[in-house]
Amino acid sequence: MSSNFELKLDKYADLIVKTGVNVQKGQTIILYADVENAVLARKITDAAYAAGANEVIVKWNDSHISHAFLEHTSAERLVNIPNYLSVEAEELMAKNASRISLISSDPDAYGDLDQERVAKFTAATGKALRVIRQATMNNDISWLVVAASGQKWAEKVFPKLHGQAAVDRLWDEIFKVVRIDDTNDAIAVWDEHIQTLKSKATWLNELNFKELHYTSELTNFTIGLAKNHVWEAADSIDRQGNLFVANMPTEEVFTSPDFKNIHGKVVSTKPLSYAGVLIEDIELTFENGQVIEAHASKGEDALLKLLDTDAGSRSLGEVSLVPFHSPISESGIVFFNTLIDENASDHLALGAAYPFNVKNGTILDEEARKELGQNQSQTHVDFMIGSADMNIDGITYDGETIPVFRNGDWA
């Protein structure tokens, strides 16, 4: 275990509460956590109350119990989500409750299950909790996804280590990627990092590209950008006017594609963990904004189920730029976790666009956003495509070509 582990964990809890969701006096906080991470959950709870929270509601998860349910419950129960969960979701969003999600489970926890059953349950749960997804996608509330070390996950990342040794090593790496060490002021470090990323977003917004053209040894495709698109970075503002950071770590700037204008072939460069299944070597071919061909060397069944979620899951809702020489990429570690791996690599997201990625998007209805090119779906799943040889050109509305990335880094 790293030196001063408790000190770093306290710093992490403080960073999550103050910079991540930016807890305000009187707020309700929902904390999603694995039972394995009770210690960190308690520290976050204490830090949230110290910051003025009115209540912290912890939603515990246990992969073993979830696996048993998915394996054994009836087909009818899989798709019939209890109504009280929808009622609770409505009440929590009416309170503008902030959300903190601690990600720590085995990325392949449900890989041995019938993927049809997993897909049906995932889709049904998504519909039942739609109000939470909408509030999150719209930035009506402050929300945050962060990592915590878990044994099964740690042993997958570091297969030569076992038990506590693997857990400790993964904690060391998590602290590095969220910029926490023994001596620094992590909140001040994050303030500076946020400003650096925002300068890139400002540059891209000034250029207002019509399209981006990606070329590498594996990938050759063009992605149109939504009309009136807005590049965002690091921090966002919720409906109450509070700043928050949705992902820690974060190295990206991102915006909304035009879902009708995507052409060519794109290949993933890192594994994707989706619904407890690892999907590797994704190859997608797009025509007129739709995936017309899809393959994967592992988890292809799960990929195809994802693409069939609904009418919008065969197009893209996010395009994100991340330099290949980011700290996470330079670590040389594949984390099998989208939260971290996406910040080592350019990535795209199948499914819904974020309303705030077009001007005035949070007050426009779905039809108006669709007219601007924003994709609609009940899913939003990132997959990584960046590489050391990735070149990206921005194409302006006047037809001018401007280098954005060369050899995987900002041009």
DSSP-derived secondary structure for 239-253: TTS-EEESEES---E
In percent, the amount of the chain with pLDDT more than 90 equals 93
Tens of pLDDT, residue by residue over 111-157, are: 999 999 999 999 999 999 999 999 999 999 999 999 999 999 999 99
Instruction: Give the architecture (CATH level 2) of 4-184.
Output: 3-Layer(aba) Sandwich (3.40)
Tens of pLDDT, residue by residue over 245-270, are: 999 999 999 999 999 999 999 999 99
Number of Cβ atoms within 10 Å of the Cβ of 251:
23
Is residue 28 within 8 A of residue 58, CB to CB? The reply is: no
Query: What's the mean pLDDT in 51-57?
Result: 98
The answer on pLDDT for 3 being more than 70 is: no
The answer on pLDDT for 2 being more than 60 is: no
pLDDT confidence of residue 330: 84
In percent, the amount of the chain with pLDDT more than 70 equals 99
User: Domain residue spans in the chain?
Assistant: 4-184, 207-231+252-410
pTM tops 0.85: yes
Helix (H/G/I), strand (E/B), else coil: 26: coil
pLDDT confidence of residue 338: 87
The answer on pLDDT for 107 being more than 80 is: yes
Cα 256 to Cα 136: distance, rounded to the nearest angstrom: 16
The answer on pLDDT for 180 being more than 60 is: yes
Q: What is the mean pLDDT of the chain?
A: 95
Is residue 264 within 8 A of residue 288, CB to CB? The reply is: no
The answer on pLDDT for 97 being more than 60 is: yes
Helix (H/G/I), strand (E/B), else coil: 372: helix
The answer on pLDDT for 302 being more than 60 is: yes
Q: Got the DSSP string for 41-91?
A: HHHHHHHHHHTT-SEEEEEEE-HHHHHHHHHHS-HHHHH---HHHHHHHHH
The confidence band for 96, taking pLDDT boundaries of 50, 70 and 90, is very high
The single-letter DSSP state of residue 297 is S
pLDDT confidence of residue 1: 57
pLDDT confidence of residue 170: 97
Cα 220 to Cα 411: distance, rounded to the nearest angstrom: 18
pLDDT confidence of residue 369: 97
Tens of pLDDT, residue by residue over 346-374, are: 999 999 999 999 999 999 999 999 999 99
Buried b / exposed e across 333-367, counting CB within 10 Å, b at 16+?
Answer: bbbbbbbbbbbbbbbbbbbbbbbbbbeebbebeee
Query: What's the mean pLDDT in 43-68?
Result: 98
